[in-house]
């Protein structure tokens, strides 16, 4: 009886944390986007309404997957992966995929724009988890080929941030499946060489590396984005400028409501307010770890481990780039950044975890 109550509490905690984080995100999406929203659509609430719609859809998805037996995902894994590859190919077709910001990443369904790369994260977690529970499918070469196909299709858009997340999720699952660490060590020089080639063939990525190394190199050019982020965080100080008092949201800071939203949070809430949000994320990921470590079966362990990697790496990469610990990448901050596809997938994955928690050994 005590175990059942504990599992129920854990699921409720996850459900509540996801909603609390998304409400915080909704508030700051409006805070950071109202000026741009009015400038682009003559409606200060455009991005707010869009984010609110996806939160409702996300909560519905989370509720559904919290009752959907996660074992059934095993039988859907192949369909999910094939569908992902097809969508990643379709989005590259000029007459179908919608372009923006120098990338072709969206499929336009009228009221809703969907990003197939976000679906690829979910598919990679489910497919690799179902694949690695079978010993005969632990061949490193097969794993490597699948990983290279996914990353290649994602980089054609291009979307290096998502490619990195897929890579980290995949090697985490490979490790959790009990494979030799020597295989993962082999991936390091391969990944390093691939990163070097991608930077070499793309002046844009090379400029981001330069901006990371020396933010003062070209304040009005290649390092503009980094500098505006640092200005936002610097303006915040310890206690912040106060709600609604951000100056950087007045079209100074690029991607203020999406990938760079943490800079606006830091400017308005300061160091201590930002720290509270980070602690909230740490508590959230700790709950994910508890579920992963107490799952009752191998498939549940791998699924929960992959979801833990998804949220962990996404949060670390976004926050790391905001304080210039790593180069800027187009990775959203889970539940906080504007972006319907990532929000929908995040809620769905939390729903899967809640379902795993119902059967966990707690």
Structure tokens that stand for 61 in this block? 């998805």
Chain centroid to CA 239: 28
Other C-beta atoms closer than 10 Å to the C-beta of 9 total 12
Query: What percent of the chain is helix, strand and coil (3-state, nearest 5)?
Result: 70, 5, 25
Q: What is the pLDDT averaged over residues 326-345? A: 90
What pLDDT band is residue 222 in, cutting at 50, 70 and 90? confident
Q: What is the pLDDT averaged over residues 142-156? A: 86
Q: Domain ranges in the chain?
A: 2-357
Q: What is the pLDDT averaged over residues 222-248? A: 87
Q: pLDDT tens across 11-53, in order?
A: 788 999 999 999 999 999 998 998 889 888 888 898 999 999 9
Q: pLDDT tens across 106-148, in order?
A: 676 666 677 888 999 999 999 999 988 876 555 677 788 888 8
Q: What was the pLDDT predicted at 102? A: 58
Beta strands in the chain (DSSP E): 97-100, 103-108, 113-114
Burial of 162-185, coded b for 16+ CB within 10 Å and e otherwise, reads bbbbbbbbbbbbbebbebeeebee
Q: What was the pLDDT predicted at 111? A: 62
Q: What was the pLDDT predicted at 100? A: 61
Q: What was the pLDDT predicted at 277? A: 96
Mean pLDDT for the chain? Answer: 86
**pTM greater than the 0.85 cutoff:** yes
Sheet holding 103-108, edge to edge: 97-100, 103-108, 113-114
Q: What was the pLDDT predicted at 361? A: 65
Q: What was the pLDDT predicted at 292? A: 92
CA 293, 294, 298, 302 torsion: positive or negative?
Answer: negative
């Amino acid at each position: 009886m005590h175990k059942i109550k504990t599992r129920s509490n854990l699921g409720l905690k996850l459900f509540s944390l996801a909603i609390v984080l998304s409400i915080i995100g909704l508030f700051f999406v409006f805070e950071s986007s109202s000026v741009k929203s009015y400038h682009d659509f003559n409606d200060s609430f455009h991005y707010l309404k869009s984010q609110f719609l996806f939160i409702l859809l996300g909560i519905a998805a989370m509720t559904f997957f919290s009752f959907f037996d996660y074992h059934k995902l095993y039988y859907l894994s192949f369909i999910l992966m094939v569908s992902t590859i097809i969508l990643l190919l379709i989005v590259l077709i000029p007459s179908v995929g919608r372009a923006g910001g120098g990338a072709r990443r969206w499929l336009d369904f009228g009221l809703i724009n969907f990003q197939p790369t976000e679906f690829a994260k979910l598919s990679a977690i489910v497919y690799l988890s179902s694949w690695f529970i079978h010993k005969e499918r632990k061949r490193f070469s097969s794993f490597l080929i699948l990983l290279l196909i996914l990353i290649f299709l994602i980089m054609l858009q291009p979307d290096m941030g998502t490619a990195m997340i897929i890579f980290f999720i995949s090697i985490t699952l490979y490790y959790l499946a009990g494979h030799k660490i020597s295989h993962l060590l082999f991936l390091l020089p391969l990944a390093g060489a691939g990163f070097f080639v991608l930077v070499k063939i793309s002046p844009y990525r090379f400029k981001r590396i330069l901006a990371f190394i020396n933010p003062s190199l070209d304040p009005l050019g290649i390092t503009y984005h980094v500098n505006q982020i640092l200005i936002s965080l610097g303006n915040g100080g310890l206690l912040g400028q106060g709600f609604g008092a951000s100056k950087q949201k007045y079209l100074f800071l690029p991607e203020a409501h999406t990938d760079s939203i943490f800079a606006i949070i830091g400017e308005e809430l300061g160091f201590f307010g930002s720290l509270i949000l980070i602690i909230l994320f740490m508590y959230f990921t700790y709950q994910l770890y508890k579920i992963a470590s107490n799952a009752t079966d191998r498939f549940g362990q791998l699924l929960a481990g992959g979801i833990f990697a998804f949220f962990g790496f996404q949060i670390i990469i976004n926050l790391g780039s905001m304080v210039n610990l790593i180069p800027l990448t187009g990775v959203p901050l889970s539940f906080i950044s504007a972006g319907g596809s990532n929000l929908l997938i995040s809620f769905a994955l939390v729903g899967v975890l809640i379902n795993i928690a119902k059967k966990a050994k707690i």
